[in-house]
Every structure is written in structure tokens, then in C-alpha cells.
Homo-oligomer: A and B are copies of this chain.
């Protein structure tokens, strides 16, 4: 218990107090993020990186849940990250604010309990039929495969797009958390994947698309 107090002290003497680099305010008090796809698409790692970026570097409270079962190998899998300005008592998503779906199966399985104004990002080529027509379709996997020559970084491309579009996490925090989790020797590739995702998102915004409109009857 004494140790807990010590940490409190350490925090105060941190040479880079959170206040000086405070990230943009969260879009709402509590933001629920779900990263969904199939096993092997690296969504657990993406969730870890996002959680650590928000929790360790942006100074938010974060909880992450993922589950595995006999059906998980190859089937739809997901990681959920809750980000809040206050301690989180319930770490499960119940009204998802940001959904990333990298496969059609994931979009079908995990695309139903969304907030009316949720951000829905889907892989343009792998999700032919997104949960709603206002989903943001971006070619995460194609860009990772064709431009970066590493299909496995589609998860990081998607993280870059999420950060750019939603403002959930600061770019600095995301890059720091990413560098701490990726294998040695892949730092440059992963940084490039992150900035490529951000560029995809900016190009999407420049095409004149505005943030998700309020829900219409057609969405419900």
C-alpha cells in the first residue's frame, strides 16, 4: 500500500507531466471501440497498441477485453477497448462508438450494438456489405499489401485511420505505443503503415465526406 502512494508521487515528478501535452478532449465521456476481424489479422495487437497509447501515453483510463474460444481460430474475433476520462467500472462495450471491421463475417457478427452516431470503418475490399450505408470504406488491406508490401500491417494502417478520423488518440501517443509493441526491425514499416492510414483518412475527408450524420430511420 505504501508502494501505491509512491507511484502517486512519481507521477507528480514525471519530467513530462500529462498537462503539458494533453491530448484533445475525448468526443464523449466514455468511448467504446471494437476492433473486429478474423484471427491472424492482428486485431489483438492493434487493441493493445490503442489501449496503451490512450492509457499510458495520453493519460486516459482504459480497459481492454478480448475473448477466445474454440470458434476463434479463423472465425470472427474481436478486441474491445474502452477509453474514458474517469475510472472504468464496466469494461465491456454495450454501445460501440467506433467499430473497425476487417471482414464481412466480423461486420455481420459485431456490427449490431452500435451508437447511433458511431464511426464505422470497414475494409473496402473485404466487407462488401457494411452494417450501414454511411460506413467509411477504406482499402486497409489492399494498401498494406500493394503499397507497403506487407499485408500483415493492415491493422496498423487501420489504427492510423481511426486516429485521424475520430481524434480518439493523439498521434504521438499512438506512435510511441506502437514502437513499444512491434518487433525490432519493423519500426519504419510500422510508422509508414500508421501514416499511410492517416493519409487514407484525410483523402476520405477531402473527398467532401463529413462526419457521420445523425441517424436516420434507414439506419435503425
Contacts and interface: CB of A to CB of B under 8 A. Distances in A.
A129 to B, nearest CB: 9
Contacts of A92: 91
Interface residues on A, range: 35 or more
A145 B182 CA distance: 23
A124 to B, nearest CB: 14
Contacts of A60: 69-70
B3 A105 contact: yes
Given A64-B66, A67-B62, A70-B11, A4 B55 contact: no
Interface string A52-86: 10111001111111111111111110000000000
A104 interface: yes
Contact of A4 (B56, B64, B75, B88): B75
Given A4-B75, A7-B74, A105-B1, A62 B68 contact: yes
A55 B38 contact: no
A18 interface: yes
Contacts of A48: 44, 48
A4 B74 contact: yes
Question: Lowest 6 A-B CB distances belong to which pairs?
Answer: A55-B68, A7-B74, A3-B105, A7-B75, A63-B67, A62-B68
Given A3-B109, A51-B66, A56-B73, 5 more contacts: A1-B103, A1-B128, A4-B38, A11-B74, A60-B70
